[in-house]
């Protein structure tokens, strides 16, 4: 994967609505959903949704097929996997298999501070 394509994908997923749509379609893979189902499940107005579906499709994250008068949207799982490979290819000095051997990738990282122990859970902050 080229850096420009990865950047385009991340820019497209930077919208919370688009991220929700993509995750919903990944969850419903390989069958996908028609636009009306997506709108209903995410409680989005159809006009708002069509804007986001177009952007995700142009970024290559969705595949669309015509089914009669409906369009079925499916997550492009191949590009998602390519992005994961792109992100992890240089992990652990080019040996990504070492990064994911343990239960936690942070077990392999040489960091001074473990952020998970220094962050406060927003729910706990109100208790």
Domains of the chain are 3-78 (1.10.10.10), 93-125 (no CATH)
pLDDT for 117:
41
Mean pLDDT, rounded, for 85-90: 88
Q: Ranked by mean pLDDT, which of 48-57, 89-98, 104-113 comes out on top?
A: 48-57
CB 95 within 8 A of CB 103: no
Percent of the chain with pLDDT over 70: 77
Contacts of 20 (CB under 8 A, 6+ apart): 42
**Per-residue pLDDT band at 114 (split at 50, 70, 90):** very low
pLDDT for 6:
96
- Per residue in 25-42, pLDDT tens? 999 999 999 999 999 999
Report helix, strand or coil for 34. Answer: strand
Give me the residues paired with residue 89 across strands.
none
Q: What is the pTM of this model?
A: 0.75
pLDDT for 102:
55
């Amino acid at each position: 994967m080229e850096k420009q394509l990865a950047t385009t994908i991340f820019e497209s997923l930077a919208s919370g609505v688009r991220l929700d749509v993509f995750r919903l379609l990944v969850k419903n893979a390989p069958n996908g959903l028609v636009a009306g189902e997506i709108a209903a499940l995410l409680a989005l107005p159809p006009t708002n949704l069509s804007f986001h579906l177009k952007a995700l499709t142009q970024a290559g994250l969705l595949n669309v097929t015509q089914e009669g008068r409906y369009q079925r949207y499916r997550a492009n799982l191949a590009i998602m996997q390519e992005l994961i490979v792109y992100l992890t290819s240089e992990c652990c000095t080019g040996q990504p298999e070492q990064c994911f051997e343990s239960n936690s990738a942070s077990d392999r990282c040489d960091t001074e501070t473990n952020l998970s122990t220094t962050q406060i859970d927003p729910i706990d902050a109100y208790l």
